Amino acid sequence: MSDLLVVAFDDDTTAFEMRAALARLQREYLIEMEDVVVVTRDDDGKVRLHQAVNLAAAGAVGGSLWGMLIGLIFLNPLLGAAVGAGAGAISGAVTDTGIDDGFMKEIGEKLRPGGSALCVLARRLSGDKLLARLEEFRARGHVLQTSLSDEDETRLRALIERQSVAVPEA
């Protein structure tokens, strides 16, 4: 089962910094993320979703490879690659995996202008070790929503939020 974490920040850069930190921690096997998206709200109130993976581009690359291979069979690899790239791009663009875009846009509407939020869907995380490595984000944001256990959510709030939160003994 996956856990959802949504953390908001008052500026538009801290969510990107935290996403980069989590990507580094994923390479160290402290977290395994299914999806990670930064939501920003500009000064005009426009909400933008910054996906970590561009599904349309990934689909185009995969589609062109398969199209070229199929094209080789029928002696026209360039046409096959072009058709495959187009089909892959369309397929990638309409495929929505991970966190629901509508949910993230609702989160974005709640942000103050110039703010950002980090939405993470994690398959697995090493709670205490992960929090210790995210110390640079202490008191820089607000936890909006999690599906963590009460104890783990309290520990996350103690790290991220400015208010002091009593952390239960382990």
Q: Is the pLDDT of residue 52 over 60?
A: yes
H/E run at residue 9: strand 3-9
Q: Spell out the residues 6+ positions from residue 125 whose beta carbon is closer than 8 angstroms to its own.
A: 3, 30, 31, 32
- The token duo for 138 is 């202490």
Instruction: Print burial letters for 13-33: b (CB count within 10 Å at least 16), e (below 16).
Output: ebbbbbbebbeebeeeebbeb
Handedness of CA 64, 83, 88, 48 (dihedral sign): positive
Q: Is the pLDDT of residue 93 over 70?
A: no
Interhelix angle 55-73/77-94, nearest 10 degrees: 150
> Would you state the pLDDT for residue 82?
60
Give pLDDT tens digits for 14-44. 999 999 999 999 999 999 988 899 999 999 9
- The token duo for 16 is 């990107």
Please state, in angstroms and rounded to a whole number, the distance separating the CA atoms of residues 71 and 167.
61
pTM score of the predicted model: 0.70
Give pLDDT tens digits for 145-168. 888 889 888 988 998 986 554 444
Give pLDDT tens digits for 55-78. 444 444 555 555 555 655 665 666
